[in-house]
């Protein structure tokens, strides 16, 4: 039991870190049922490791026991729970739980809770991106938890040092502070805040610089064609392209990074825009991650392309479907198909009759749910316009189309030197559509709660001078009627307040006159004499009461006269008063 009592603070902090990280990630990914094995592995492993440490089991024996327990769990747990993630969590959790009560392995013990927290911090972080604001806050919070954990461990080590040794240890009696230095508490609190904040800031700033990205193939997604800056239709309305996911590397491969499109077709290189009037060649100037929508820069005159419906090919580029002419009312939001009356006997430059364009089919993108966003604007989204029902093409009044389908044209001629060549390896990004707003709002809620707690503390601190004024006023001149003995006691309390301001602290077994002798403050001896007379039931008359009041005032002023301005100001913020 004593062993448990000594270890309690460390266990508390460690479990708070672990449960906090798991809970946060569970809220972020509420819909993910695969987290169950993570929870079981993390909690079960930590419990086992710490239990073995509390029983003082040697490390080799502990590892063997962990292995046997894992084998047993593999036999008894239901199959839907048993997966790679369970064992990936169980092993490190057990080892780190064991090390959390170890001698010199605090940093190693901290690794597993850090892994759990990193799942939330890195959620929706791109492979080459830094975490968003909520991620940075969580990273700073992780650093603060590290310091709390280190402090708890050191406190336990000190208690062990004072109680456990190979030589007999003397039993220590409670310490007594006889006189303290004034104004020290503020400096101490400031140091704690400074160091914790500094380290949190340093970690939040430089840790992301070391993270490495990894990428892996994602599913095919459909995206809409980026808006043409000129407003004129371009080639295919929608692309069916494979997406590539990028995220920061971590122990658990369950993070959701940013989706990137492999290689959309480049206007003027992989395809040409075709309309009833012709097609446009040009280049798309794609930006980097999350930058503005690409703009279409036509580079050449229209070329003759037979009108007709075309469908884009798979991933190889080219298209067999010609989008109708039309315009986008705003970047990437809705597409309003245009309509043109087919000319009676129109001859275009290329001799191709115009066709009223069918509404393009542009299935909307179904992005995965977004990470919790606190206050960042989502990157420019390229959302597909809604899918209107396709209309059968109107037959050309003049000439039937020469070809119902057309093979994709040859690779477009080299784009004009005026337009910047699009980087082929640069992909546009799909901004994830948030399916749940719990993530960002949770962090916001936590931040609000912390802010409220801080504000309450500040209010309580600000009210202390007022409280002190009222108490001192009552001690000097009671607000209500009190007995003589109580008034004597009040005066003594007033003197003690002055002594406490000067740093003098009476001990529990110290008589008032002993305190007066020790402190050597004017007026205190007189106060102590009258007080002891009152306490022993001897008569205290009006003269004694007046003398007591006067001496208490003198003692109060005399004790505070030795203080500097700062200490005097700090004394107004101190509570309790004596």
Q: Which H, E and C letters describe 423-466, residue by residue?
A: CCCCCCEECCCCCCCHHHHHHHHHHHHHHHHHHHHHHHHHHHHH
Buried b (16+ CB within 10 A) or exposed e, 130-169: bbbebbbbbbbbbbebbebbeebbeebeeeeeeeeeeeee
Q: Which H, E and C letters describe 363-425, residue by residue?
A: CCCCCCCCCCCCCCCCCCCCCCCCCCCCCCCCCCCCCCCCCCCCCCCCCCCCCCCCCCCCCCC
Measured from the Cβ of residue 417, the count of other Cβ atoms closer than 10 Å reads 8
Q: Which two tokens stand for residue 530?
A: 């009258």
What is the helix (H) or strand (E) element at residue 295, kind and residue range?
A: strand 295-298
Which residues have C-beta within 8 Å of that of residue 354, sequence separation ≥ 6? 276, 277, 307, 340, 342, 343, 346, 348
Q: How far is the CB of 495 from other proteins (least distance, A)?
A: 19
Q: Which is nearer to other proteins, 75 or 175 (CB)?
A: 175
Q: How far is the CB of 47 from other proteins (least distance, A)?
A: 15
Q: How far is the CB of 150 from other proteins (least distance, A)?
A: 4
Q: Which is nearer to other proteins, 110 or 310 (CB)?
A: 110
Q: Which is nearer to other proteins, 350 or 510 (CB)?
A: 510
Distances (CA, A) of 299 to 153, 269, 303, 386, 421: 68, 12, 12, 29, 12
Q: Which is nearer to other proteins, 33 or 181 (CB)?
A: 181
Q: How far is the CB of 371 from other proteins (least distance, A)?
A: 15
Q: Which is nearer to other proteins, 78 or 209 (CB)?
A: 209
Query: How far apart (Å, rounded) are the C-alpha atoms in residues 226 and 286?
Result: 9
Q: How far is the CB of 505 from other proteins (least distance, A)?
A: 8
Q: How far is the CB of 97 from other proteins (least distance, A)?
A: 11
Cβ–Cβ < 8 Å for 259, 432: yes
Q: Which is nearer to other proteins, 206 or 542 (CB)?
A: 206
Q: How far is the CB of 214 from other proteins (least distance, A)?
A: 7
Query: How far apart (Å, rounded) are the C-alpha atoms in residues 315 and 572?
Result: 74
Short-list 298, 365, 357, 362, CA closest to 335: 362
Q: Which is nearer to other proteins, 203 or 489 (CB)?
A: 203
Q: How far is the CB of 25 from other proteins (least distance, A)?
A: 13
Q: Which is nearer to other proteins, 156 or 433 (CB)?
A: 156
């Amino acid at each position: 039991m004593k062993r448990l009592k000594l270890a309690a603070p460390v266990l508390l902090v460690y479990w708070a870190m672990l449960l906090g990280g798991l809970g946060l990630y569970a809220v972020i990914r509420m819909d993910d049922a695969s987290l169950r094995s993570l929870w079981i592995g993390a909690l079960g492993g930590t419990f086992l490791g710490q239990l073995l440490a509390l029983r003082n089991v040697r490390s080799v024996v502990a590892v063997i026991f962990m292995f046997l327990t894992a084998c047993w769990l593999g036999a008894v747990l239901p199959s839907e729970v048993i997966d790679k993630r369970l064992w990936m969590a169980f092993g490190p959790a057990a080892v780190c739980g064991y090390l959390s009560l170890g001698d010199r392995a605090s940093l190693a013990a901290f690794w597993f809770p850090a892994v759990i927290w990193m799942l939330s911090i890195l959620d929706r972080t791109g492979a080459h991106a830094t975490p968003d604001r909520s991620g940075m806050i969580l990273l700073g919070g992780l650093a603060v938890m590290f310091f709390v954990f280190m402090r708890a461990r050191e406190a336990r080590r000190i208690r062990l040092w004072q109680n456990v040794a190979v030589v007999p240890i003397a039993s220590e009696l409670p310490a007594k502070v006889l006189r303290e230095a004034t104004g020290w508490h503020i400096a101490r609190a400031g140091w704690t805040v400074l160091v914790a904040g500094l380290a949190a800031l340093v970690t939040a700033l430089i840790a992301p610089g070391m993270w490495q990205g990894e990428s892996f193939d994602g599913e095919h997604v459909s995206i809409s064609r980026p808006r043409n800056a000129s407003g004129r239709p371009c080639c295919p309305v929608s692309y069916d392209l494979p997406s590539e996911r990028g995220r920061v590397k971590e122990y658990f491969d369950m993070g959701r990074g940013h989706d990137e499109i492999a290689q959309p077709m480049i206007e003027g290189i992989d395809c040409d825009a075709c309309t009833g009037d012709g097609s446009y060649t040009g280049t798309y100037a794609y930006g980097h991650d999350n930058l503005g929508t690409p703009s279409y820069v036509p580079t050449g005159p229209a070329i003759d392309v037979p009108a007709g419906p075309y469908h884009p090919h798979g991933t190889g580029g080219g298209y067999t479907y010609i989008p109708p002419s039309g315009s986008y009312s705003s970047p990437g939001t809705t597409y309003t198909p245009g309509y043109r009356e087919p000319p009676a006997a129109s001859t275009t430059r290329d001799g191709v009759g115009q066709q009223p364009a069918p509404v393009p089919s542009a299935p909307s993108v179904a992005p995965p749910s977004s990470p919790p966003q606190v206050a960042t604007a989502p990157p420019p989204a390229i959302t597909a316009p809604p899918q209107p029902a396709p209309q059968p093409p109107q037959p050309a009044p003049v000439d039937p189309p020469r070809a119902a389908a057309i093979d994709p044209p040859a690779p477009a001629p080299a784009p004009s030197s005026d337009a910047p060549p699009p980087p082929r390896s640069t992909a546009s990004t799909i901004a994830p559509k948030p399916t749940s707003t719990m993530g960002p709002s949770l962090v916001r809620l936590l931040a609000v709660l912390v802010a409220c707690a801080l504000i309450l503390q500040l209010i309580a601190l600000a009210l202390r001078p007022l409280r002190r004024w009222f108490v001192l006023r009552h001690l000097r001149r009671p607000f209500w009627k009190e007995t003589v003995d109580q008034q004597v006691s009040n005066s003594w309390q007033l003197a003690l307040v002055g002594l406490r301001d000067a740093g003098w602290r009476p001990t529990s077994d110290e008589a008032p006159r002993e305190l007066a002798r020790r402190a050597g403050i004017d007026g205190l001896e007189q106060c102590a004499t009258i007080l002891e007379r009152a306490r022993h039931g001897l008569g205290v008359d009006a003269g004694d009461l007046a003398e007591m009041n006067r001496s208490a005032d003198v003692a109060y002023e005399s004790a505070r006269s030795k203080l500097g301005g700062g200490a005097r100001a700090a004394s107004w913020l101190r509570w309790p008063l004596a």
